[in-house]
Amino acid sequence: MNGPWLQHPDWLMPAALGIATAAIGLALGRLLARRRRLRLLGPRAPRLDWSDAALLLALGALGVALLGPRLGMRSERVEAAGADVVVLIDVSRSMTAQDTPPSRLDRARRTARDVLSSLGAGDRVALAAYAGHGVLLTPLSADAGALVEMIPFLDPELVGTPGSRLDDGVLAALAAFDASDRPRVLLVLSDGEDPARGDASAPGVEAARAGVRVIGVAFGSESGAPIPDGDTWLRDHRDREVLSRREPERLARLAEMTDGVTFRADRWGEVDPTALLAALRRDVAAAPGSATERRVAAVRVAPFALLACLLLALEATGLRLGRRAAGGVAALSLLAALGAASPEERALEAQLRRHPGDAEALVRLGIARAERGRNAEARRALTAAALRASDPQLAALAYHDLGVVALAENDLASARDAFLDAVALAPDRRRSVYNLEWTLAALAEKTPPPPRERPDEESERREERPQPTPAAADPDPLTPEEARRWLDSVRDDARRGLQAAGRAAAERSEAQRGPGW
């Protein structure tokens, strides 16, 4: 039992270790007691009773309850007239294959455009892409029209890193979701191909824990098609033509883990738009202010806790009932204290359900989750706060706390980036400056110093270095009217903006692989 079937999978190893240690200790204690009885009473010494097994089974049941097993689904009523939808598009080179003319990528972009144009006024949307790594291009926004204008610029040049890492793309897209009660949907448009054969369980676990349903649309054909490479076809290191095939199994696995669904585009790259839109808005209320039922994973703690109580009661019958019962009550109290959310978290989550864009509440929620060791959820809340905060000081605080969470996970590169953002927004934050300097020093200790040149080479380089020329005089400043006309003449370049975001994500991805700038 692991992955999305546990509410707290991070506690699996500590719980298993604790149960194993208790079992070994109990077995050794009983063995020593048996030997003492044999020495005192001889062969007529009584055998050990079944109480040991009852104690171990009770401890095991408590451990399972502590992990929060997700068994089955349950329905809950929510007031939500809109959904949060993140569209994740595969822009790897395999998507340029032409078995769904004009290409898989063209058909994926058309599907994304149709979906964004069909969503309701109460929906919020975001855009993400992936190839060799994933990149979140926009935060959640009610302006779907602005995202539609960006769709044509999504191409293999956007991300820069070659490859096809679906898991990395899903994890990047999950960062867009903030703490709200709205239905969460991740629409993945891809051929499903992954040359590295990455494991889909990790992003599936994160998506299930975040309450995100994955809906996949697989483009291409099982028979496959060559990948264009200029005027010819892409070839491998053995000079064989590379054939790319649709692999919807990984998309189906993600959808299954999150109670989602998978669609297979036909040979022309078409998907039933009515069925796709119905799947996206499955949990959305029909009208503003009305309630709807949505299915969520059911966390079953009570049955295992009750089983532990019964086992302890049976074991305690006639065997120091008071002490055993007290131990059972103490164990259940500890379980309740560890498994339940703190009152502060519940209050903040309720506030965010009323005001989803409250950046200050998101920061406080991220801090509360980080203090309880829920770092992945803390990062999502703090990232949402940093993107939504209109006050630079509040955004700097969110980035600062993101850096602290990264330091707690020993992710120095991510901590450095977060502290840099915090200092850029609020240069007077002395704590952020100190943390940035400390992180840079820690990274420098891990990075080997560059080779030093010989003194004579250094002097020669200084002699050959051209002398700076005097700077030209500043031109006359523009009048306010001239400045306004000049700014009005500048046009936004969506392609350049998206490529800048892709390059920034590539640099962060490279930094996470090892220290360095």
More confident residue, 346 or 43: 346
Q: What pLDDT score does 503 carry?
A: 59
Is-above-0.85 flag for pTM?
Answer: no
- In order, the DSSP letters of 124-190 are EEEEEEESSSEEE-S--BS-HHHHHHHGGG-STTTT-S-S--HHHHHHHHHTT--S-SS-EEEEEEE
Distance of CA 510 to the CA centre of its chain: 18
Q: Which residues pair with 75 in a beta bridge?
A: 295
Q: Cis check for the bond before 9: say yes or no (omega within 30 of 0).
A: no
Of 208, 207, 217, 342, residue with least CA distance to 270: 217
Q: How confident is the model at residue 333 (pLDDT cuts 50, 70, 90)?
A: very low
Is there a contact between 2 and 9 (Cβ–Cβ < 8 Å)? yes
CA 465-469-473 angle, 5° bins = 160
- pLDDT tens digits, residue range 345-404? 777 877 777 777 788 888 888 888 888 778 888 888 888 888 888 888 999 999 999 999
Residue labelled with tokens 């291009």:
137
Percent of the chain surpassing pLDDT 90: 22
Q: 124-130 and 84-90: which strand pairing?
A: parallel
SS3 content of the chain, % helix, strand, coil (to 5): 55, 15, 35
Using alpha carbons, list the distances in angstroms from residue 476 to 202, 479, 480.
58, 9, 13
At residue 104, what is the residue type? Answer: R
CB neighbours of residue 514 within 10 Å: 10
Q: How confident is the model at residue 185 (pLDDT cuts 50, 70, 90)?
A: very high
Structural domains in the chain, CATH included, are 3-69+300-339 (no CATH), 76-293 (3.40.50.410), 343-446 (1.25.40.10)
Is there a contact between 214 and 248 (Cβ–Cβ < 8 Å)? no
By the 10 Å C-beta count (0-12 exposed, 13-18 middle, 19+ buried), 271 is classed as buried
Q: How confident is the model at residue 202 (pLDDT cuts 50, 70, 90)?
A: confident
Alpha carbon distance 366, 389 (integer Å)? 14
Of 338, 9, 31, residue with least CA distance to 204: 9
Q: At what angle do helices 166-174 and 201-209 cross, to 10 degrees?
A: 20
Q: For the chain, what is the radius of gyration of the CA atoms? A: 29
Alpha carbon distance 35, 190 (integer Å)? 66
Contacts of residue 515, Cβ cutoff 8 Å, sequence gap at least 6: 412, 413, 443, 446, 447
pLDDT tops 70 at residue 183: yes
- In order, the DSSP letters of 464-514 are HSPPPPPPPPPPPPPPHHHHHHHHHHPPP-HHHHHHHHHHHHHHHHHHHHS
pLDDT tops 50 at residue 441: yes
Contacts of residue 189, Cβ cutoff 8 Å, sequence gap at least 6: 87, 88, 89, 90, 108, 111, 112, 217, 219
Q: What pLDDT score does 321 carry?
A: 39
Identify the three-state secondary structure at position 420. Answer: helix
Q: How confident is the model at residue 434 (pLDDT cuts 50, 70, 90)?
A: confident
Mean pLDDT taken over the chain: 76
Alpha carbon distance 433, 24 (integer Å)? 50
Alpha carbon distance 217, 179 (integer Å)? 26
**Does residue 373 come out as left (phi exceeding 0), alpha (psi in the -120 to 50 range) or beta?**
left
Would you state the structure tokens that stand for residue 274, as one six-digit string?
């009515």
Percent of the chain surpassing pLDDT 70: 68
pLDDT tops 80 at residue 143: yes
- pLDDT tens digits, residue range 68-107? 776 666 655 545 568 899 999 999 999 999 999 899 999 9
- pLDDT tens digits, residue range 444-487? 877 554 444 444 444 444 444 454 444 444 455 566 676 666 65
Alpha carbon distance 258, 205 (integer Å)? 8
Alpha carbon distance 388, 139 (integer Å)? 8
Would you state the structure tokens that stand for residue 7, as one six-digit string?
């509410």
Residue labelled with tokens 């820069």:
160
Of 283, 275, 274, residue with least CA distance to 85: 283
pLDDT tops 70 at residue 265: yes
Residue labelled with tokens 């692999």:
247
Q: 124-130 and 134-136: which strand pairing?
A: antiparallel
Would you state the structure tokens that stand for residue 149, as one six-digit string?
């204008």
